[in-house]
Amino acid sequence: MTEPALVSVVVPCFNHERYVEECLRSIAEQDHPHLELVVIDDASTDATPKIVENLLRTDEFRSHFTGGVTFRALEENVGAGRALNLGLGLAAGTVLGICNSDDRYAPERISTLLPLLRDADLVFSAVRFIDDSGADVTDEDWAAIRLSHTQRTIHAYPSLGFACVPANVAISTGNLLFKRHLLEQLVGFRDLKYCHDWDFLLRSILRREPAFSRRFLYDYRLHQANSFRSLGAIADEETRDVLRTYFSAIRRQDYDNPTAPGPETWPGVFEQMLEVLGFEGHWERALRSPA
């Protein structure tokens, strides 16, 4: 009988003392039998590191992780992308997942998504939105409705890859589960403050078509400290950067995925997408960029 894959889950933490224990326990409660946990605290100024240390010391909690538990507390804040790369660099699993420290996993998340990686290198699921107390606000909160709309319209696109171009349909880094060799191909996450997850997703599409599960397997917590609420101007700048990076690779034909959205792979359809989304300017900037 084949041994189940070791799945390493990396948890980047920063000032989430209210939520981090619930996050970590949701990973420990996975029904997949072979897990590793890597926690990176990005120089929190609240009680987050202490809460993590206390929980990770308990034998009952550690017993859920046959692949081991690692905790690193950084002395200086390095930002989300760099913290993720540090954590992923410590992980030993052939499959890698992320859970942001204010979010949580559904118990069957990993066991449900793993089979989808037989025909893909990256997979993500439908997202449920929760509030401070953990209550489901997917259909009640204005921000949740706006964000979930990107996933509810996936079926309207010619392919899943197309659905990823206008916006980050995975919603969060925490909703990404991927193979180690993909991380190596992409050389990790770029050092972006807001769009590092979308950038990683789009660059992965250049290599292979992702997979999507319509089951709600990731809980994204909405609160006042969410990055999308505070980084609007930065997000606009990074959006231009992310699209230029993707479109420039398409222009150079630097892709392996025969269904990656582009003028050669989807003639006529790609140009229609640019027009409908108002992305002609992004494409023209990519055409003017050095090869």
CATH number of the domain to which 34 belongs: 3.90.550.10
Block residue for tokens 């009988």? 1
Residue 269 clears pLDDT 90, i.e. is over it: yes
Task: Give dist(CA 129, CA 165) in Å, integer.
Answer: 22
pLDDT the model gives residue 4: 87
pLDDT the model gives residue 232: 60
Q: Is 52 within a domain?
A: yes
Tally Cβ neighbours within 10 Å of residue 115.
11
Of the pLDDT bands very low, low, confident and very high (cuts 50, 70, 90), residue 289 is confident
Q: What is the pLDDT of residues 127-177, one digit of tens each?
A: 999 999 999 999 999 999 999 999 999 999 999 999 999 999 999 999 999
Task: Give dist(CA 90, CA 96) in Å, integer.
Answer: 11
Q: Is 37 within a domain?
A: yes
For residue 168, which of 140, 192, 132 has the smallest C-alpha distance?
Answer: 192
Q: Is 76 within a domain?
A: yes
pLDDT the model gives residue 234: 83
pLDDT the model gives residue 87: 98
Block residue for tokens 């390095």? 78
pLDDT the model gives residue 191: 93
Residue 1 clears pLDDT 70, i.e. is over it: no
Give the residue-averaged pLDDT of 194-201.
Answer: 96
Phi (first) and psi of residue 195, to 5 degrees: -100, 20
Q: Is 91 within a domain?
A: yes
Give the residue-averaged pLDDT of 197-223.
Answer: 97
Q: Distance from first CA to last CA of the chain, Å, rounded? A: 49
Which domain covers residue 7, as residue numbers?
Answer: 1-105
pLDDT the model gives residue 226: 57
Residue 233 clears pLDDT 80, i.e. is over it: no
Q: Is 75 within a domain?
A: yes
Q: What is the pLDDT of residues 13-36, one digit of tens each?
A: 999 999 999 999 999 999 999 999
pLDDT the model gives residue 116: 98
Average pLDDT, the chain: 95
Q: What is the dihedral of CA 221, 124, 203, 259, to 10 degrees?
A: -140
Q: What is the pLDDT of residues 51-69, one digit of tens each?
A: 999 999 999 999 999 999 9
Residue 224 clears pLDDT 90, i.e. is over it: no
Sign, CA torsion 105/107/113/114: positive
Q: Is 96 within a domain?
A: yes
Q: How many helices (H) and strands (E) does the chain have?
A: 13, 8
Q: Is 21 within a domain?
A: yes
Structural domain count of the chain? 1
Give the residue-averaged pLDDT of 216-241.
Answer: 80
Give the residue-averaged pLDDT of 182-205.
Answer: 96
pLDDT the model gives residue 218: 98
Tell which wins on pLDDT, 42 or 223: 42
Q: Is 80 within a domain?
A: yes
Tokens of 27: 């990973």
Task: Give dist(CA 102, CA 13) in Å, integer.
Answer: 8
